[in-house]
Structure 1
């Protein structure tokens, strides 16, 4: 069998510099932002904007940096885990996830900083915090989708997709095939068994809907 070298994919991306710069900026600003705040600091709010969770000033830096770092690590590991597999043979899906990873982590750091303005400026800050995070997350999704379009153009299975979503290839014996976009598998709907599996997957949803309507 011919030896195939694993794909050479950079471990990190320039997009990963965004949360790094954001973390450094927050580290420099944190002492000033926390000065004069109550201890503990309100860090969780209910639907009406009333604080129902607090974190001590000593523990806040662990939350402010730990949560974004954990989310970044999960997104990074998710992309790297499939490089070289049938999910991401050339590593392009992993590379395409970099904008989303960087911008979501930056958005979380912004929320951590924004939370320190709530005791001084009121609940209206929450709207700006959530809005800023969602805007960065949406931008990350759009940039990721744009990069992943290249994988669609080069995918040899593209001609077997219906409406770009459903894989139908009777010549492919595989029942489950890797998704074109994102990570995971999709069914080959050319096989009768795929429709049975789809029905079984949708059955719990149908039961929940029917029970909801009867009560």
Structure 2
């Protein structure tokens, strides 16, 4: 999480959405940076509103606006799967090096007790306020990262050049049609949030009627 005081921007760090590259490019511009340790770096909106926002209140001024990136849900899970196949995790309970992606996904979607390597939350959980409502002010699609870069560049009055970082290993992530259909049904709410996310730096203009 990065906090920029003057432009009143809070950049949330949803895991596996390219925010490490954004943080690398922008951390020097931020007055407050939560990074390195995952439990600090990946604070969600509720944690920000409950713990961090009150500390900023004495500064005064306009409310801070929150920004987040969200990835196509199955692509997000593919990234997690590939990340957990890396050599340094082999032998660890979080490793997916010994299983296929389809098994990983079915276990992730299971309502029963999941193995450690499939214990991953939902992207939308990072975007919810205490009432359970998606309440981040500006949500961009990972697949339209340039839109997020353009938005942040304009708000922070600084050019942004991203470098690839935290890249996951290559791995086969094919799915049977049946499993993909099941996944899209179970993850329908995740898809709704992703589909509503922005793909442009500014909202598209409303078309005038005839």
For normalisation by structure 1, the TM-score amounts to 0.26
- Structure (1 or 2) with the larger CA radius of gyration: 1
The one of the two structures with greater contact order (alpha-carbon pairs below 8 A, sep at least 6) is: 2
For normalisation by structure 2, the TM-score amounts to 0.26
